[in-house]
Amino acid sequence: MIQLHDLQFEPYIDNAAIKQRVAELGAEITQRYAGKQPVFLIVMKGAFMFAAELLQHVNLPCTLHFTKVQSYTGTKGGAIASFEGIPQGLEGKDVIIVEDIIDSGNTIAFLLPHVQVKHPASVTTVALLQKKIHRENNVHADMLAFEIPDVFVVGFGLDYNQLGRNIPAIYAVKEV
């Protein structure tokens, strides 16, 4: 059990299971993009640990960029609060957006048009987690490590008001 601010969290997906599944995703990307040189667009801060793990299993020449989109406060989503740019030079490139978790899908729905106006050859999304909920915007990860129910989770990059990102496994909030 872990306490962060006022909430308690219990183990949900352990480090070994994450590593195994992420290695599979890396192999899938390696296969799908064989002969190409993809550009990874990593959504900070949450995706930092997932990206670090995933990229070690991508056996291709590739480049990385970081973008920052912030919407969440506490355990609730909301409107996009801050956004730090899309890099130059995506034209004709195969872009892979790397996200920690797809919840409402608002972040990806917000980001996609900003990437598409740069005229990349292709755009796909890879996510560590995706919540199994109904989404009006119909957004979903093209490649996904784990689908989870609608629970609030922390760890492996994900935070609760900025705490918990360093935890090497995924923990779910304990219902009180």
- Interface with ligand IMP, residue 95, by CB under 6 A: no
DSSP annotation of 103 reads: S
Among 15, 114, 152, 165, binds ligand IMP (CB under 6 A): 152
Closer CB to ligand IMP, 30 or 104, in the complex: 104
154 conformational bin, left if phi > 0, alpha if psi -120 to 50, beta if neither: beta
Site for ligand IMP in 33-92 (CB under 6 A): 46, 71-72, 77
Count of chain residues binding ligand IMP (CB under 6 A): 18
**CA–CA dist 141, 130 (Å, integer):** 7
Site for ligand IMP in 156-175 (CB under 6 A): 158-159
- Interface with ligand IMP, residue 153, by CB under 6 A: yes
User: Which two structure tokens, joined as six digits, stand for 81?
Assistant: 């609060």
* Binds 77: which of ligand IMP, Mg ion, none (CB < 5-8 Å by kind): ligand IMP
Short-list 20, 55, 59, CA closest to 41: 55
Among 15, 104, 124, 161, binds ligand IMP (CB under 6 A): 104
Beta-strand pair 94-102/122-131: parallel
CB of 165 to ligand IMP, least distance (A): 9
**CA–CA dist 35, 46 (Å, integer):** 29
Token look-up 């989770």 returns 153
Catalytic residue status for 94: no
Provide the binding-site residues for ligand IMP, judged by CB under 6 A: 46, 71-72, 77, 99-107, 152-154, 158-159
